[in-house]
Amino acid sequence: MLFLFPLAFVSCDLGGEHYSRYYDYVDIDELSIPDSAMTGDTVPVYARAGAPNGCWSELELYCYPYNDTLYLVNASGLYESYDGVCPEIYVTKDSTFRFIPDTAGIYIFAAQSRSKPVMFDTLVVMPER
């Protein structure tokens, strides 16, 4: 019986295993909006997010106003791994937001990423005729 006792401790040893789990920003790979629209039009704002490996999941995209004419687009996801081992796949998610301008003017959409420079796209909104 004393022979089996040390084996029980070795087989249950979890030392060396490192588990990571957190939410963080991911990159916006693409941002696309029409060049122009009229007030009251429904304008599609398309964005695609990407994360570098298969440890990322639950990607979510967001589009929200920063002020009257500047809108931010960003994305986050869940990173989860044991010992940093991740499948070598690129994880993506896309979304189309509906933007309905009620005032004529120039609207700027800024796509914020974790590791890429900010991407800008501009929408010119003309008054309804």
Tens-place pLDDT, residues 59-117: 999 999 999 999 999 999 999 999 989 999 999 999 999 999 999 999 999 999 999 99
Query: Mean of the per-residue pLDDT values for the chain?
Result: 90
What's this model's pTM, rounded to 2 decimal places? 0.82
Tell me which of 50 and 9 has the higher pLDDT: 50
Residue closest to 111 by CA, chosen among 52, 61, 43, 60: 61
Percent of the chain surpassing pLDDT 70? 88
Residues 48-65 have a mean pLDDT of 98
Residues 113-122 have a mean pLDDT of 97
Quick one: tokens of 8? 């029980």
Q: Is the pLDDT of residue 3 over 70?
A: no
Instruction: Give the strand pairing for 56-65 and 36-38.
Output: unpaired
Residue closest to 77 by CA, chosen among 49, 57, 106: 57
Residues 38-66 have a mean pLDDT of 98
> pLDDT grade, residue 17 (50/70/90)?
confident
Buried b (16+ CB within 10 A) or exposed e, 52-68: beebbeebebebeeeee
pLDDT, residue 119, reads: 97
Q: Is the pLDDT of residue 9 over 60?
A: no
